[in-house]
Amino acid sequence: MTLPVKICGLSTPETLDVTLDAGADMIGLNFHPKSPRYVTPDQAAALAARARGETRIVALVVDAPDSLLAALRKAVGPDLWQLHGSEPPARIASLRASQAGLAMKAIGVSEAADVARVADYAAVADHILLDAKPPKDALYPGGHGRTFDWTLLKALGPAQPFILSGGLTSENVGDAIATVRAMGLNLAGVDVSSGVESAPGVKDPAKIRAFIAAVRAASSDTSSA
């Protein structure tokens, strides 16, 4: 079985269409104003309407107030909320109770203590996404095109499913998948944003296709090994 692929930070109909044609399982729409991948609710609504029924729609928010979530729920109707800020577990539980859609909690990783935080969220989040921790002076969260030490994830054990993100590209995603699966971990998908761009916020159609093809090839290789 091939791994689910999420292409995050889409902002144009053209690159969305390429993503859908290439077979992405999830698309991410970024609602953090400081990100170069930011889309307005109106832009996102048009993209979501184009994608609905073809893939799962993920709304990426950072410490968002209930008023913004309610507006996005009405305009965009996401299938999942990706919480990419400093939201505590109680906030995840509250969001799941008050908003339609599942919750994906993103956790930045640079050391073992970050991996240990997964246990705090596992009971309240529907999905866990593990990303590289951003630089201390970063204006927005996320991996900023950087990978992290995947061997840190060994502490998770085989029972905890997670989606891997952070600096992935078509060139290294096969190694990432092989490394994680060799540790017996429950890899539930991969996520990419800057790794399929020609410039910050500018998605590259050829890179999108190459990334998804690389994941499919690596999934096939590891499942038949």
- Number of Cβ within a 10 Å radius of residue 184: 10
What is the per-residue pLDDT for 225?
43
Query: What is the pairing mode between strands 197-199 and 202-203?
Result: antiparallel
CB 72, CB 44: distance < 8 Å: yes
Positive or negative, the CA dihedral 14, 15, 21, 26 is: negative
The rounded mean pLDDT for the chain is 93
Portion of the chain with pLDDT greater than 70, in percent: 93
Domains held by the chain: number: 1
Amino acid 224: pLDDT: 41
Q: Are strands 56-61 and 80-83 parallel, antiparallel or unpaired?
A: parallel
Least confident of 54-58, 86-90, 137-141, 211-215: 137-141
Separation CA 74–CA 35 (nearest Å): 22
Q: How far apart are CA 203 and CA 108, in angstroms?
A: 23
pLDDT per residue as tens digits for the range 175-213: 999 999 999 999 999 999 999 999 999 999 999 999 999
Residue 116: CB atoms within 10 A of its CB come to 12
Give the predicted TM-score (pTM) of the model.
Answer: 0.93
Q: Residue 76 belongs to what domain range?
A: 5-223
28-37, 58-67, 95-104, 154-163: least confidently modelled range: 95-104
In terms of pLDDT, which residue wins out, 125 or 139?
125
- Position 9 scores a pLDDT of 97
pLDDT at residue 165 tops 90: yes
For residue 117, the model assigns a pLDDT of 95
- The CATH number of residue 13's host domain is 3.20.20.70
By annotation, the residues acting in catalysis are 8, 131
Q: How far apart are CA 38 and CA 139, in angstroms?
A: 13
Q: How far apart are CA 65 and CA 219, in angstroms?
A: 38
Closest to 55 (Cα-Cα) out of 32, 78, 33: 78
* pLDDT at 138 > cutoff 60: no
